[in-house]
Amino acid sequence: MNMQFLIIDPQNDFANPAGSLFVPGADKDSDRLAQMIKRHLSKIDEIHITLDTHHLLDIAHPLFWLDTQNKHPAPFTCITLEDVHNGKWKTTHTGFQERATRYVETLKANGRYDLIIWPPHCLIGSQGNNVVAPIAETVLAWKNRFAMVDYVIKGSNIWTEHYSAVQADVPDPTDPGTQLNMRLIETLESADLIVLSGQALSHCVANTVRDIAKDENLNKMVLDIKKTRRSIVPGVPSMPYRVGQP
């Protein structure tokens, strides 16, 4: 049996209590996941780890926007299409306004999310971008079997959020990294069992599962979400997933 693990964003900024976007309980989940991987080391054929990877300048970070008093938005501010059209929020760099407006319009048309402003997190080169210690140490043991972890980088395009491991919320036609990741999908199609794990259920896990489930050949997922059913946005509930029902 071909068994593959897909681990969504097991990074310090999400899974370490000191992280800038810590999901309560994610540290304990990381310990349990590490123990699970250890128990199945000899049976795992592939490990895919997605890495949320951002610049400080990002359309979903405070630095990008200003209000009418020229102040940056607080983390978890929701910027709606109406807010942009009526001038409540504008881009810090005036040359970004037109493209940012189109982005918010597209989000509205997609009907999935409004634009959420996040605390700067998983910044390139920072400790917060690194895989949390229990999982990092455990996959090293797996790699000693002469295997390679498939690290899937997402989020470095400043013009779009990239919650899903499969594609950005609004793919950039000039950036293949934001478009449908067929390499990952085709690799997962070869699995008999996909063990999918993550904590940020309201966004990154939710959208990864939705996008993967669109492929009729990928009806073999088990969601290893343990007891942590968490949202990373205050007031936004996480998705009530059950094993086998994305």
What DSSP string describes 5-63?
EEEE--BHHHHSTTSTT--TTHHHHHHHHHHHHHHTGGGEEEEEEEEE-B-SS-TTSGG
Q: How far apart are CA 181 and CA 167, in angstroms?
A: 6
| pLDDT range class, residue 221, cuts 50, 70, 90 | low
pTM for this prediction = 0.86
Ranges of each domain in the chain: 3-56+120-224, 62-116
pLDDT at 75 over 90: yes
Protein fold of 3-56+120-224:
Rossmann fold (3.40.50)
Q: What are the tens digits of pLDDT across the range 91-102?
A: 999 999 999 999
Q: Which pLDDT score is estimated for 198?
A: 84
Determine contact, residues 181/189, Cβ cutoff 8 Å: no
* Range with the poorest average pLDDT among 62-66, 80-84, 123-127, 142-146: 142-146
Strands 78-79 and 150-154: unpaired
pLDDT-above-70 percentage for the chain: 86
> Which range, 83-92, 111-120, 162-171, has the best average confidence (pLDDT)?
83-92
Average pLDDT of the residues in 47-58: 97
